[in-house]
Structure 1
Amino acid sequence: MNTLRSDFQKGQTLLDYFYYWEKQQPKKVYLRQPEGDRYRDYTWRDVGKQARTLATYLNSLGLPPKSNIGLVSKNCAHWIIADLAILLSGHVSVPFYPTLTASQLHQVLEHSGCAVLFVGKLDQWPAMKPGVPETVHCIDLPGYTTDPDHVQWNTILTRYEPMTDNPQPHSEDLFTIIYTSGTTGSPKGVMMPYQAMISAIDATKPLMCVDVPDSRFFSYLPLCHVAERNLVEALSLITGGTVYFVESMATFANNLAAARPTHFLGVPRIWLKFQQTILATLPQQKLDRLLKIPVISGLIKRKLRMALGLNDVRLILTGAAPTPVAIIRWFRELGITIQEAYGMTENLGVVSVMPPAAIKDGTVGMLYNGIQVKFDPITGELMTRSDWTMRGYFREPEMTAATLDADGWLHTGDVGTLDDDGFLAITGRVKEIYKTTKGEYVAPAQIETGFAENNFVDQICVAVQQLPQPIALIVLSETGLKADKTQVSQSLEETLNTLNPNLHTYQRVKKAVIVKEPWTVDNDLMTPSLKIKRKMIESRYEPHLQPWFEREETVIWEK
């Protein structure tokens, strides 16, 4: 049973935590990789031996000190082992999204100057491979890609000995370069020194349930994203817990149920999917009736939490995009308390979190100790300052200067407010506040939350540009796809009739358009962290927006 050491001191790096657990509980399982109906387990000793051996190999390559080393793979046990190996070797970890195209991979590899690239669990490696410059030395993670042009992981393990010392990086050394997902242009490499990670750990640890015995984490969001890397990799190293991985999205439900995590991060789209899964077998009216019966209510809640794999959960966070209040309240009725968290890559995702004992819906919680905020008096843009703010964008001094001012204030691009009780609310993006052809400004994200209670809606993007008033582009949920068209249309009209009276006249949604194609990572209409790419979606449908707006009917089905 692991419990967080009470004598862990402030100022420790993730490597310090790793050294401790590697020594104290070598036989405890750290990483669990699903393989069909079985799991391949890696103990702390196994992870240490492999990571240390790979570090020996990396050091044998004669790279300049503190070289950038890339990692492209879906989440798996060897992702974390490779990341640890890079840190142990004294180099800089530079992870990339596993969904990149060849040209995108080429861009970030060239920009980052990576000399070595770990290649792992990927769907389309042959299509990605042409994007790797010839000068980059590639290493294959075992069990996934086996490229004859690459050095094989298992070959390294048989030919090299594990390093035996425990390197201690300087606090000002670069820990990682995190490339953003590029929702509004080319990805930017966020430089984070060890000092920033140390400060963020010390600030967040009191609120992250680090004292839960036998902590379990479920890894399915991209580990190269700051949120997953924090909650899964970093927190598992801090607590000495166990990480379970998802094998594929087809096995997501079974893998989650097997993991029974104590800590779980769910982006808004995941909570919507969970809700739709429950309502597909237990319609809302029936659920409402059962929840009113005292004894039955408790049994139903427990059964649903167990079915989702969340019965043992102690910390549930949501972030990356706004989660509608209606969804959060719906799950709260089932005994599942979702805590909103807010941050961005440039401040390690550490700005605020909802306190479980003092929830204020419609906000993203209270500020962590050590974070300062202020707002632009004209635009309302939120600015933050802390000891864990990025050093800057790699090789992009002009972009850095435009985002991080001389006084250390990070311009987030988000519009928000801080109330008298200390709760932070995010009301939109500076760049996503659009002007209608009538000259009025509209923030689409705020309107989109009004569709959260309609179970026929899976994805939504409110389009404003070049229109007198907004129209809603909608992708139907599985429930909506199975329903009668007339029923769907009536339901959406009812949603508009409920939503619009609460909006200013110029904000009211004029049409609801049901589009045929879902928005996915594969068609480049959604980021790897499952946020819609608003500009890409608006561009895709731009030729149709005005004709749709001029149609007589309120609900329109794309032909």
Structure 2
Amino acid sequence: MAITQPLLPLEQFYWREKRHPDRRYLIQPQAGGQVEELTWGQVGEQARRAAAWLRQLELAPGSRIAIISKNCAHWIVADLAIWMAGHVSVPLYPNLTAESVRQILEHSESAVAFIGKLDDWPAMAPGVPEGVRTVGLPLRPTGRFDHLWSDLQACTPITDNPAPQACRLATIIYTSGTTGVPKGVMHSFGNFGFTGRQAVALFGVQEGDRGLSYLPLCHVAERIFVEVVSFYGGQTVYFAESLDTFIHDIRRARPTLFFAVPRIWTKFQHGVFARMSPRRLDVLMKLPVLGGLLRRKVLAGLGLDAVRYAFSGGAPVPESLLDWYRRLGLEINEVYGMTENCGYSHVGRPGERKPGWIGRSNPGVEVRISTEGEVQVRSQAVMQGYYKEPSMTADTLTEDGFLRTGDKGELDGSGFLRLTGRIKEIFKTSKGKYVAPAPIENRLAEHEQIELVCVVGDGLPRPMALCVLSETGKAQAREHLEGHLHRLLGDVNAGLDKHEQLKGLVIIGDLWAVENGFLTPTLKIRRAMVERHYGHCFEAWGEHARAVLWHDGKENGHGDLATDSGSRAAHSPAG
């Protein structure tokens, strides 16, 4: 008896395209309140026409094709077309600087770039190298493009069903490296297929499910758990139009599966508190009948009343926030994963919650803790390696195929995982974006008034820089120096991608020296010491309105915080 091999992503799409061609698949809001609905058959036909156009270019098999766009229906259609034409998709974040755009397109040697929804295309466009063909998607910014989507749709659709092998490269996802230079994570069709099948089985995804796509599709989490899982589970995918319409969009979708980063869960909560005080809400929710009605009303107002599975990932979630949603009747399950393993590693299961711990490993995932305390995982979701970076790949993948996550952690007797810190210096904000601090620190340290600088931001909405002044800086009047620091902050942020931009500068009055443990014998900053000493202040500093804050190093080393010369406006939590 022949053994049937599991279907890979494109094959799974063809199966759905044939099974229910007239079933709604992608729901795209348009400007002016209109909504476009694409069926599985329409998505297939448009992708096949675009694939025919790509074939006409006679590019070498496996050529790289970029997608630069915010989430939209034709992001997925373009991805399918690239795969059908035998090429590799290279998604880019929609808010990169022109320098980062050029860096990725040149490194990947992309031949074509699909351009879709963007907020500031004129600032990004100079980053497209000469010779890269641009194709404007239906929802696109104003500007000149070599071709429009309508040009591609004039082609006769391909009639075959190309089926790349599991080992074939499907995509290169660029993520920040420790040097600040993006790394190209290579994932095969086999990686995506394994993860998609496992996720559908793990969460029981069905054709009646609905998802809202709003986190960047260029990020592996949205790519897998929206795009790929839709091929295997068959759910309908709704898209958000903008931040201004987000609540309306989510109410339209009424998702049954919903993933968010901690920052979004917090924003939802604050939105509820803006209408009713936390104390009053807590009292009312405890009432036998009214409490149940109120909980359902709150979830319905958020568009979350139909959610079967709710997930949070990208950064730790405060236990108090999880408890608040649980009292509303919504269980949020924490997810742990990386770009390098398709975001598929660990997840909390309903009924198996252990406060402070993420959960057990996912089916098909092996996990171990190294002698250095590093979490290492192995599965069919682990990347092929970093594009054009064999030495970096060797540093990240062990000889026996385990992924070095860079996270410190521990396992309990039931296999539950708890993260205890980062081995690598690169950190992740509460929005799930990686930031490499070293390049930002180097730019700030070029200023003559700054001697030492440490960029922090793990689990914070935005990074910030802790700075120790040089003797030159200390000799200047605060009023005069503050103007220089404001300009420095603006200049540095202008050269950074949006997720890297600093919330502000905190000028530290304490001494950082070898003797007190802040510096190594070679005068490098001990980041762990800085975070341990000032970490209790980070949240308050991050919420402050001022861009330049002064921490004067008083009160047992924790200090007062002055927001300008001569005035005290805030204290650290210890102050």
TM more than 0.5: yes
The one-letter code matched in structure 2 to 1:396 is: E
The offset of 1:507, in angstroms, is: 7.6
Q: Does the residue aligned with 1:229 lie in a helix, a strand or coil?
A: helix
Aligned to 1:480: none
- Among 170, 178, 203, the alignment partner of 1:175 is 170
The one-letter code matched in structure 1 to 2:359 is: G
Whether the 8 Å CA contact 1:513–1:557 is kept in 2: the answer is no
Measured in 2, the distance between the counterparts of 1:313 and 1:184 equals: 40
The answer to whether 1:556 aligns with 2:549 is no
Whether the 8 Å CA contact 2:342–2:382 is kept in 1: the answer is yes
> Structure 2 unaligned runs (5+)?
428-455, 470-530, 565-575
The one-letter code matched in structure 1 to 2:306 is: D
Q: Does the residue aligned with 1:93 lie in a helix, a strand or coil?
A: strand
The offset of 1:401, in angstroms, is: 1.4
The answer to whether 1:509 aligns with 2:536 is yes
The offset of 1:37, in angstroms, is: 2.2
Q: What TM-score results when the alignment is normalised by the length of structure 1?
A: 0.79
The offset of 1:462, in angstroms, is: 8.9
Aligned to 1:419: 412
> How do residues 102-501 of structure 1 correspond to structure 2 at under 5 angstroms?
102-158=98-154, 160-181=155-176, 185-211=180-206, 213-378=207-372, 380-432=373-425, 459=461
Measured in 2, the distance between the counterparts of 1:121 and 1:300 equals: 38
Q: Does the residue aligned with 2:244 lie in a helix, a strand or coil?
A: helix
The offset of 1:445, in angstroms, is: 8.2
Aligned to 2:40: 44
Measured in 2, the distance between the counterparts of 1:167 and 1:338 equals: 39
Whether the 8 Å CA contact 2:172–2:184 is kept in 1: the answer is yes
The offset of 1:218, in angstroms, is: 0.3
Which stretch shifts more, 174-183 or 75-84? 174-183
Q: Using a 3 Å threshold, how does the CA distance of structure 1 residues 32 and 181 change in structure 2: closer, same or farther?
A: farther
Aligned to 1:15: 10
Aligned to 2:82: 86
Q: Deviations over 1:430-470 (max 9, x none)?
A: 13599xxxxxxxxx889x7xxxxxxxxx8486988989xxx
Q: Does the residue aligned with 1:312 lie in a helix, a strand or coil?
A: coil
Measured in 2, the distance between the counterparts of 1:463 and 1:228 equals: 30
Q: Using a 3 Å threshold, how does the CA distance of structure 1 residues 152 and 250 change in structure 2: closer, same or farther?
A: same
Q: Deviations over 1:494-528 (max 9, x none)?
A: xxxxxxxxxx9968736875457779xxxxxxxxx
The one-letter code matched in structure 2 to 1:386 is: S
Larger RCO (alpha carbons 8 Å, 6+ apart): 1
> Structure 1 unaligned runs (5+)?
1-7, 435-443, 449-457, 468-503, 520-539
Measured in 1, the distance between the counterparts of 2:108 and 2:329 equals: 45
Q: Does the residue aligned with 2:536 lie in a helix, a strand or coil?
A: coil
Q: Does the residue aligned with 1:143 lie in a helix, a strand or coil?
A: coil
Pairwise CA RMSD = 2.9
Q: Deviations over 1:385-412 (max 9, x none)?
A: 1122111100011211111122212111
Measured in 1, the distance between the counterparts of 2:413 and 2:26 equals: 44
Whether the 8 Å CA contact 1:140–1:146 is kept in 2: the answer is no
The offset of 1:368, in angstroms, is: 1.1
Identity %: 45
Q: What TM-score results when the alignment is normalised by the length of structure 2?
A: 0.77
Measured in 2, the distance between the counterparts of 1:408 and 1:139 equals: 39
Q: Deviations over 1:518-547 (max 9, x none)?
A: 79xxxxxxxxxxxxxxxxxxxx97xx66x4
Q: Does the residue aligned with 2:160 lie in a helix, a strand or coil?
A: coil
